Amino acid sequence: MESAKLYYLDVSPFARVCRALIYDWEIPVSPERVEFPLPDSFFELNPLGQVPVLETVGETIYPTQPIIDQLWAMTTGANTPHYDPLADRQMLQTIFTMGDMIVTSSQIVRSGLRPSGENLLGFDMVERHQKRIDNVLDMLEENAPNWLLYDKVSVCDYALAAVLLYADFRRPFNWRHREKLAGIVDHIAASDSFGRTNPRP
């Protein structure tokens, strides 16, 4: 039987979490790298035209959080990092939404789309996103017991590491003064699964 496939872009932090989980949870899914920009045909797979996408025998699954739920459902024993779909959902969704803002801000800046006419919105989009990002990071730093949610590493820690390492790679900003977060990210960055999923230079 053909195995499930995970379509990914090398630099995508969302796909990186899924790829690291496939490795750590030992799930029979083949990672399929696609190149940026994604071809228009990709919209037939995912109407959002984004990676990651998980293609299983009967289903095409996106965006990232339902993919993680599916990967978790496919685990047979190995369960590090820890995942509890119900207990982790709010933090995981918040981190991924922050990741959307990090990616969008990077794209606004890299595509030269900073304000070029009268600003009818009333605020600068990139500054506003940065404020949300900083607030989420402050909240995480303040509440983290040791790892983000538990006394053991969880999928939320992987998500945080993936989005902040993406930020360091694409559009660095100052987040390292939050010492607990810096410790979590450095620890995960040094792991085998994150070493294997490092974007190519």
Ligand X SMILES: N[C@@H](CCC(=O)N[C@@H](CS)C(=O)NCC(=O)O)C(=O)O
Decide: is 197 part of the binding site for ligand X (CB under 6 A): no
Residue 164's contacts (CB-CB under 8 Å, 6 or more residues apart) are 175, 181, 185
Cα–Cα dist 144/47, whole Å: 36
Give least dist CB 39 to ligand X, A.
10
Q: Determine if 96 is a binding residue for ligand X (CB under 6 A).
A: yes
Indicate whether 105 belongs to the interface with ligand X (CB under 6 A). Answer: no
Sheet with 60-61, strands from edge to edge, namely 29-33, 4-8, 53-55, 60-61
Out of 4, 6, 9, 17, the residue judged to bind ligand X by CB under 6 A: 9
**Residues belonging to the chain:** 201
Amino acid letter at 186?
A: D
**Alpha helix stretches (DSSP H) within the chain:** 13-24, 42-45, 64-73, 85-110, 125-143, 155-170, 179-189, 192-196
DSSP-assigned letter for residue 198: P
CB 127 within 8 A of CB 114: no
Q: Does 14 bind ligand X (CB under 6 A)?
A: yes
Among 12, 105, 106, 197, binds ligand X (CB under 6 A): 12
For ligand X, the closer of residues 41 and 76 by Cβ is 41
User: Does the protein bind ligand X through residue 45 (CB under 6 A)?
Assistant: no
Segment contacting ligand X (CB under 6 A): 79-87, 96-104, 115-123, 129-137? 96-104
Q: In terms of CB distance, is 38 or 125 closer to ligand X? A: 38
Site for ligand X (CB under 6 A): which residue of 5, 31, 38, 169?
A: 38
CA proximity to 83, closest of 179, 149, 170, 177: 149
Q: Rule CB under 6 A: say whether 100 interacts with ligand X.
A: yes
Q: Which of 21, 29, 51, 98 binds ligand X (CB under 6 A)?
A: 51
The correct pick among 2, 35, 37, 200 for binding ligand X (CB under 6 A) is 37
- The residue type of 179 is E
Binding string to ligand X for residues 140 to 159, with x set by CB under 6 A, is what?
Answer: --------------------
| CB 179 to ligand X: min, Å | 27
Sign of CA dihedral 43, 46, 50, 55: negative
Which residues make up the interface to ligand X (CB under 6 A)?
9, 12, 14, 37-38, 49-52, 63-64, 96, 100, 103
